[in-house]
Amino acid sequence: MLRRKTVRQGKERSMKRSGILAMAAALIVAAGMLLGLQIGSAVSGSHAHEALQKLEEAYLLINRHYVDEVDSGRIAEEAIRGMLAELDPHSVYIDAERMRRVNEDFDASFEGIGISYELVEGPDGQDTLAVLNPLPGGPSEQAGLRSGDRIVAVDGTPAIGFTHEDVQRTLRGPRGTRVTVTVLRPGYQNELTFTIVRDEIPLFTRDAAYMLDDRTGYIKLNRFARTTYQEFVEGLQQLRRQGMERLILDLRGNAGGYMDMAIRLSDEFLTEGQVIVTARGRLAENNLESRARSGDLFEQQPVIVLVDENSASASEIVAGALQDHDRALIVGRRTFGKGLVQKQFTLADGSAVRVTISRYYTPSGRLIQTPYHHGDREAYYEAKAEQRRHEAHLSTEEIIEQIPDSLRYRTDHGRIVGGGGGILPDVVVPRDSVSALMQTILGRNLEDGFVREWFDHHGEALRRTYPDLEAFRAGFEVGDAMLEAFVAYLQAHDVAIVEAPLQAEQEAARAAGTLFTADAFAQDRALIANVLQARLAVRLFGHSAQYPILHRMDPVVQEAMRRWGDAGGLAALYADRR
């Protein structure tokens, strides 16, 4: 009943949206011209041609007779959005400015000074630009910038009160150009000045590659961009030199990207000739069947793939292919369920439309895409949230029992896998419940703010004591003094830790998340210490340094480490079929 109601509400929203955008939709003619299409050849069939003429006529009438002057550019963009919204949730319009950022993300590089940064509340409530990390090997690191530096001026112009847009405008720029930054460094009385030569800055898609133990390698990918396959291969080879016998591939939070990268990565685990993914569309030119080739890097060893509800698209290609061929054990939570393939068409002003051209299927025939009603995104995401709530505490076997026979598929060795949207893991690990205290701390980024201040005072000593990550992991301990300082920091930011029992007048503060008992803090002590150490590691050694620390208390990683018997069994089955 709830699902039918959601779909009905979605239809109503879709009709309202269509009415609002009907006038704007006339500008499809302009969109066609921007794409460089000959309208007559692009539109086939008398009905489609008549509809196009109707749209053109409506636009000319509006442009000529509307009471106010028409903003053609704005209406054109709304027209394109309106048309795409009637198709599916993943056919979208991307304006020119956003398209520039998207291209940087998936080209995996940009030109600038090479820092990760944060905007820290400064004097009079104005933000101060603080260096989180200079990127390794980048121009800022070479110039001498450090984690914790506050950039107070750029080329002599004050940087206090900068927005993210100001940062992009002033620090990014063509390779080879110079920019001078003025810095306040904690522990130094005088300002420091650095002249930095901008360069091409890589955006890595591999967050981490390290050994969990003397046998187990771990690689985490955050998206699939142009460099992902090469980054993965380099990480794999690095770990094999360190003695890796089995691999955890972490695709949690990986929303996808280039399909080709997912196909090439999957190929490294599979035997020549095995199907990786198929795509089927209305036009034959959009159909695809990708198969593994020879020369694989990791074809026989045990593999576990980690996924969650934010693993989508290209991530699902990898997980689906390895699951269907019994090549890897999938651990985590059901993936997002995006099985629509988009083709991008660039418009004359640098904006773009991404149009769905096909659907993709796993080797067993599963359609990964979850059901949708046209482009109604609200109903689409509501249905996904409802599915997650329903499956929150069910095992894989319990979920499959509820799936109709038409949505049950079999792997190469006959294991049943579930369809109906997304990749259902072989081992479901429910989302870890987070206490109210941790929700407050993490939700308000209080751990980050505290570590920033702690690092300002203790950063130099930490650098001297712990020259590398291994020494820091083994030797640093979040002790009583640091935790007491953290409690004081919480108190200063309106989060009190008090002794139980609470008084009646304190209940409202407890309910509002601004007051907690010392017992609650004690229960979360180990997790708090873990998070604080991880945040310190980022400032000392970069973004990837946090993972070896966080994984000590990561329930999905810990469950995966208990499942090597199952993963090894799959690897043995896979070897037998060869």
Catalytic residue among 147, 290, 311, 338: 338
Instruction: Specify the pLDDT at position 535.
Output: 96
Q: Is the dihedral of CA 250, 450, 163, 73 positive or negative?
A: positive
Nearest CA-CA partner of 421 in 364, 332, 363, 339 = 339
- 324 carries an active-site annotation: yes
pTM: 0.83
C-alpha dihedral (544, 548, 550, 556), degrees to nearest 10? 110
Nearest CA-CA partner of 135 in 210, 201, 193 = 201
What is the mean pLDDT of the segment spanning 20-36? 43
Q: Is 210 exposed, middle or buried (0-12, 13-18, 19+ CB in 10 A)?
A: buried
Residues 6+ apart with CB under 8 A from 260: none
- 250 to 207, 264, 303, 329: CA distances (angstroms): 10, 17, 11, 12
Strand residue runs (E) in 313-449: 329-332, 340-346, 352-361, 408-410, 416-418, 427-428
Catalytic residue among 313, 358, 364, 544: 313
Q: pLDDT digits over 277-298, tens only? A: 999 999 999 999 999 998 778 9
Q: Reduced to 3 states, what is the DSSP secondary structure of residue 249?
A: strand
Percent of the chain topping pLDDT 70? 90
Q: pLDDT digits over 194-252, tens only? A: 999 999 988 889 999 999 999 999 999 999 999 999 999 999 999 999 999 999 999 99
Instruction: Specify the pLDDT at position 105.
Output: 67
What is the mean pLDDT of the segment spanning 119-141? 85
- 313 carries an active-site annotation: yes
Q: How far apart are CA 229 and CA 241, in angstroms?
A: 18
C-beta of residue 550 within 8 angstroms of C-beta of residue 530? yes
Asked if pLDDT for residue 20 goes beyond 50, the answer is no
Q: How far apart are CA 381 and CA 555, in angstroms?
A: 26
Q: pLDDT digits over 376-410, tens only? A: 888 888 888 899 999 989 999 999 999 999 999 99
For all residues of the chain together, what is the average pLDDT? 87
Q: How far apart are CA 474 and CA 454, in angstroms?
A: 20
Specify the residue for token string 């460089």.
Answer: 36
In single-letter form, the type of residue at position 320 comes to G
In single-letter form, the type of residue at position 317 comes to I
Catalytic residue among 324, 376, 448, 554: 324
What is the mean pLDDT of the segment spanning 262-280? 96
Read off the pLDDT band of 107 (50, 70, 90): low
Asked if pLDDT for residue 25 goes beyond 70, the answer is no
Higher per-residue pLDDT: 50 or 35: 50
Least confident of 5-14, 234-243, 441-450, 474-483: 5-14
The two tokens of residue 251 are 């695709």
- 554 to 210, 531, 550: CA distances (angstroms): 16, 11, 6
- 72 carries an active-site annotation: no
Instruction: Specify the pLDDT at position 299.
Output: 86
Q: pLDDT digits over 140-198, tens only? A: 998 999 999 999 999 999 999 999 889 989 999 999 999 999 999 998 888 999 999 99
Q: How far apart are CA 264 and CA 290, in angstroms?
A: 10
Read off the pLDDT band of 82 (50, 70, 90): confident
Instruction: Specify the pLDDT at position 152.
Output: 93
Torsions phi, psi of 446, nearest 5? -70, -30
Q: Is the dihedral of CA 159, 162, 166, 172 positive or negative?
A: positive
Q: Which helix (H) or strand (E) holds 280?
A: strand 275-281
Q: Which domains does the chain have, with CATH numbers?
A: 2-86 (no CATH), 109-202 (2.30.42.10), 206-428 (3.90.226.10), 436-558 (no CATH)
The two tokens of residue 477 are 């301990």
Asked if pLDDT for residue 332 goes beyond 90, the answer is yes
The two tokens of residue 210 are 């390290």
What is the mean pLDDT of the segment spanning 60-64? 82
Nearest CA-CA partner of 317 in 271, 268, 363 = 363
Torsions phi, psi of 497, nearest 5? -115, 115
Instruction: Specify the pLDDT at position 43.
Output: 53
Read off the pLDDT band of 313 (50, 70, 90): very high
Instruction: Specify the pLDDT at position 153.
Output: 95
